[in-house]
């Protein structure tokens, strides 16, 4: 038996398929004999084919998984369209008279070396994206197969050193019953995708690619993070029973669809969903969410060449509000910056963009962008139960300024004879330690808090959750993090306000008992986690299904 990190719960029993790492190196071919125009045409064709493939993948992921998971492919398309990236390769073919293959290889090597040497976590994280895009360009230049993982037999367990975003998008959950990787953690892209797709996964196994061979029978225990290679009949039967019991339990969770939960004092506990676009609503309704705890509106701004117009945003917000039929919908205003950038919006180069010009900070500096969104939100407010949330707030001054712009927009619309709701709650994301530490003062002015644990944890512990070198420091249950969370909830309640949570911790089974103890009012998460979270909460004797 081998141990790893349990990244996605469940049991998988099947045959191994080892995904070999792809070698992109090509032989040097600098020669006057190179037909420059032909090589440029080859490269242009490869870029176009790559763009078409990535667009299909992005659309598939957005439709089947969600807008947030599809965002990574939008960044890949932006990289292909960047004249400083692919344009440089085309220029290299012409200036140095080298093959398209060599030009792409030099481009990838150059960018990887540059990003690796820069003391900027955002840019270092882009290495994986650059390699993924480069690998796709190479495949299309050399006529390689695009979808290595899309046509696997049933009951396949994929084993790899790691899985790229493109790899995970190809996995067919009807055929791939689990996957194993040498590297990665619970917050790696492949782990997050596995949980969303509900594919069992164990990651960070070190040498699993060397420990198995193609065709081996393997049992994957995604609950304990264990793997059994070529099990005996008794072990196989034991895990078949565990798998059957687990699958039956999942079916029984369907009973909880639409059921509401109350505490011992009769107070309703909200179990809501996070979404990235109106397209995500179907999965929210299928899982019976009590509402939307986080609508990440930045996805409306991506995959396009210009800012979305006011009318366009209004239609998106109205659609979500109408489909929720009066259930609460918390819409977060634009959170661009850090790892989320727009190719049509010029942003300053920063040493540390995660601590810089982003989210509400950027919106307050560019009211012409902010006001378009706020006007659209206010116009849509009459179609449902809208709550507006400002992200990345570090002080009362910022919240007051943002709310001031909102009131300006309300006055403008009323002067134009356009109706707005008078009962919109306005709150903030608590994701910066300073906001948690001054929650007592902020609670006097906001209508609600929603704790964004993903950023709150990494800002509190100075540990980037996506950086494998320091990911061991990223501890949701760290005493410092828990103190900030408890403080935020308590101060909200003292002021008569409610407090929710929309980070990954809201569906963390290890954290939920503590959050219930603290009195958290709303848990917002991926739609796929709603039913299992309800079941866990109902295992607490103080909580019951509302009659």
Contacts of residue 97, Cβ cutoff 8 Å, sequence gap at least 6: 30, 31, 32, 34, 36
What does R_g of the chain's alpha carbons equal in angstroms?
25
- Structure-token pair, residue 363: 């919106």
Q: Tell me, rounded to whole angstroms, the distance of Cα 103 from its chain centroid.
A: 33
Enter the DSSP assignment of 478.
-
* CB neighbour class for 149 (10 Å; exposed up to 12, middle 13-18, buried from 19): buried
Ordered DSSP codes for 331-390: EEPP--BTTB--TTS-----S-GGGSS-HHHHHHH-HHHHHHHHHHHHHHGGGSEEEEEE
CA distances from 265 to 262, 358, 497, 546 (A): 8, 41, 17, 12
Q: Is 431 helix (H, G, I), strand (E, B) or coil?
A: coil
Ranges of H-type helices in 287-337: 310-323
From 189, 363, 409, 420, active-site residue: 189
- Structure-token pair, residue 85: 């990236």
Enter the DSSP assignment of 32.
T
Using CA atoms, how far apart are residues 460 and 478, in angstroms rounded to an integer? 10
From 363, 420, 499, 502, active-site residue: 502
Question: φ and ψ at 236, to 5 degrees?
Answer: -60, -45
Contact 197, 163 (CB under 8 A): no
- Structure-token pair, residue 291: 């509402």
Question: φ and ψ at 161, to 5 degrees?
Answer: -60, -45
Contacts of residue 169, Cβ cutoff 8 Å, sequence gap at least 6: 57, 60, 61, 73, 193
Contact 425, 414 (CB under 8 A): no
Enter the DSSP assignment of 236.
H
CA distances from 311 to 10, 219, 412 (A): 44, 52, 16
CA atoms within 13 A on the CB side of 470: 10
Contact 502, 293 (CB under 8 A): yes
> Catalytic: 502?
yes
Ordered DSSP codes for 181-206: ESS--TTSHHHHHHHHHT--EEE--S
Contact 381, 341 (CB under 8 A): no
Contact 287, 528 (CB under 8 A): yes
* Beta bridge pairs of residue 369: none
Using CA atoms, how far apart are residues 121 and 92, in angstroms rounded to an integer? 28
Query: What is the set of active-site residues?
Result: 189, 502
């Amino acid at each position: 038996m081998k141990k790893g990190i349990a990244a996605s719960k469940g049991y998988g029993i099947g045959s191994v398929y080892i995904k070999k790492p792809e070698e992109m190196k090509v032989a040097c071919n600098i020669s006057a004999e190179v037909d420059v125009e032909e090589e440029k045409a080859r490269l242009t064709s490869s870029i176009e084919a790559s763009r078409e493939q990535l667009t299909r993948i992005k659309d598939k992921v957005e439709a089947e998984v969600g807008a947030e998971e599809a965002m990574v492919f939008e960044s890949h398309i932006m990289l292909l369209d960047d004249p400083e990236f692919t344009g440089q390769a085309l220029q290299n073919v012409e200036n140095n008279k080298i093959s398209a293959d060599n030009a792409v290889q030099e481009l990838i090597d150059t960018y990887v070396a540059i990003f690796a040497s820069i003391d900027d976590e955002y840019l270092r994280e882009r290495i994986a994206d650059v390699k993924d895009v480069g690998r796709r360009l190479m495949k299309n230049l050399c006529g390689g197969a695009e979808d290595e993982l899309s046509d696997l037999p049933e009951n396949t367990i994929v084993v790899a050193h790691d899985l790229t975003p493109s790899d995970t998008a190809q996995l067919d959950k009807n055929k791939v019953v689990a996957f194993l990787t040498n590297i990665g953690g619970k917050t790696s892209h492949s782990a997050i995708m596995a949980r969303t797709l509900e594919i069992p996964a164990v990651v960070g196994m070190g040498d699993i690619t060397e420990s198995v061979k193609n065709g081996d029978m393997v049992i994957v225990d995604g609950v304990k993070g264990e793997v059994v290679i070529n099990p005996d009949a008794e072990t196989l039967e034991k895990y078949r029973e565990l798998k059957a019991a687990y699958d039956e339990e999942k079916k029984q969770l369907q009973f909880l669809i639409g059921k509401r939960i109350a505490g011992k004092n009769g107070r309703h506990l909200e179990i809501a969903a996070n979404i990235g676009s109106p397209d995500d609503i179907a999965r929210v309704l299928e899982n019976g969410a009590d509402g939307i705890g986080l609508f990440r509106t930045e996805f409306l701004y991506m995959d396009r060449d210009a800012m979305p117009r006011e009318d366009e945003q209004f239609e998106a917000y109205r659609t979500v509000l109408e489909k929720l039929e009066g259930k609460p919908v918390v819409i977060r205003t634009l959170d661009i910056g850090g790892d989320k950038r727009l190719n049509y919006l010029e942003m300053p180069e920063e040493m540390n963009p995660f601590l810089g010009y982003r989210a509400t900070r950027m919106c307050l500096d560019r009211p012409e962008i902010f006001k378009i969104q706020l006007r659209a939100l206010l116009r849509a407010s009459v179609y449902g139960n809208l709550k507006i949330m400002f992200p990345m707030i570090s002080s009362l001054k910022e919240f007051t300024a943002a709310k001031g712009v909102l009131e300006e927009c309300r006055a403008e619309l009323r002067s134009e004879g356009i109706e707005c709701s008078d009962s919109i709650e306005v709150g903030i994301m608590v994701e910066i330690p300073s906001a948690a530490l001054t929650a007592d003062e902020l609670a006097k002015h906001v209508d609600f808090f929603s704790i964004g644990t993903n950023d709150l944890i990494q800002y509190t512990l100075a540990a980037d959750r996506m950086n494998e070198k320091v990911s061991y420091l990223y501890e949701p249950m760290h005493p410092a993090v828990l103190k900030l969370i408890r403080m935020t909830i308590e101060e909200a309640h003292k002021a008569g306000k409610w407090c929710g949570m929309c980070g990954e911790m809201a569906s963390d089974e290890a954290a939920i008992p503590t959050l219930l103890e603290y009195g958290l009012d709303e848990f917002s998460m991926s739609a796929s986690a709603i039913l299992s979270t309800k079941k866990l909460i109902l295992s607490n004797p103080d909580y019951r299904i509302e009659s």
